Copies of this chain bind each other. A is one copy, B any other.
Amino acid sequence: MRATLANMAPQGFRAMWAELAEVGRDGGTGGYRRFAWTRTDAVLREWFTGQAEARGMDVVTDRAGNLWAWTVDPDAHGPGLVLGSHLDSVPDGGAFDGPLGVVSAFAALDLLRAAGQEPARPLGIACFGDEEGARFGVACAGSKLLTGALDADRARGLTDAEGTSMAEAMTQAGFDAAAVGPDEETLRRIGTFVELHVEQGRALVDTGAAVGVASSIWSHGRWRLDLRGRADHAGTTRLADRDDPMLALAAAVQEARAAAERAGTVATIGKLAVAPNGVNAIPSSVTAWLDARGDEADVRTVVAEVGAAAGVIPVEESWTGPTVFDAGLRDRLAAALGTDGVPAPVLPTGAGHDAGILAAAGVPTAMLFVRNPTGVSHSPAEHAEEADCLAGVAALARVVQELG
**B351 and A236 contact, CB distance less than 8 A:** yes
Mark A325-365 against chain B: 1 for CB-CB distance below 8 A, else 0: 00000000000000000000000011110000000000000
Q: Is A315 an interface residue (CB 8 A)?
A: no
Chain B CB within 10 Å, residue with most, of A199, A218, A283: A283
Name the B residues within 8 Å of A218 (CB-CB). 235
- State how many angstroms separate the Cβ of A398 from the closest Cβ of chain B: 25
Tell me if A268 and B241 are in contact (CB < 8 A): no
Closest B residue to A294 by CB, please name it. Answer: B235
Q: Which interface residue of A203, A232, A291 has the most chain B CB atoms within 10 A?
A: A232
Q: Does A174 contact B (CB under 8 A)?
A: no
Kindly list chain B residues whose C-beta atoms are within 8 Å of the C-beta of A377: 232-233, 236-237
Q: Which of A51-59, A122-130, A250-258 lines the interface with chain B?
A: A250-258
Contacts of A379 in B (CB 8 A): 230-232, 284
Query: Which of A4-12, A183-191, A271-279 binds B?
Result: A271-279
Residues of B within 8 A of A253 (CB): 246-247, 249-250
Residues of B within 8 A of A293 (CB): 234-235
Nearest CB to that of A251 among chain B residues?
B250
Q: Tell me if A222 is interfacial: C-beta within 8 Å of chain B.
A: yes
Q: Are the CB atoms of A277 and B272 closer together than 8 Å?
A: yes
CB of A279 within 8 A of CB of B283, answer: no
Cα-based distance from A249 to B204 in the complex (angstroms): 31
CA distance A120 to B352 in the complex (A): 82
How far, in whole Å, are A375 and B272 apart by their CA atoms in the complex?
28
- Interface hub of A200, A270, A281 (most chain B Cβ within 10 A): A270
CB–CB A235/B200 < 8 A: yes
Tell me if A67 is interfacial: C-beta within 8 Å of chain B: no
- Point out which of A253, A277, A351 has the most chain B C-beta atoms below 10 A from its C-beta: A253
Residues of B within 8 A of A102 (CB): none
User: In this complex, what residue of B is CB-closest to A289?
Assistant: B279
Q: Once the chains bind, are A233 and B200 in contact (CB under 8 Å)?
A: yes
Most buried by B among A247, A266, A282, A378: A378
A-side residues, CB < 8 A to B, are 91-92, 199-203, 218, 220, 222, 230-239, 241, 244, 246-247, 249-251, 253-254, 257, 260-261, 266, 268-272, 274, 276-284, 289, 291, 293, 349-352, 375-379, 381
Give 6 new A-B contacts, CB below 8 A, not counting A270-B281, A280-B291.
A199-B236, A231-B378, A234-B268, A238-B375, A268-B281, A284-B379
Selected A-B contacts with CB under 8 Å, 10 pairs: A200-B233, A201-B241, A230-B376, A231-B378, A238-B375, A244-B268, A247-B257, A250-B251, A270-B277, A271-B277
Question: Nearest 4 CB-CB pairs, A to B?
Answer: A200-B236, A235-B350, A234-B268, A250-B250
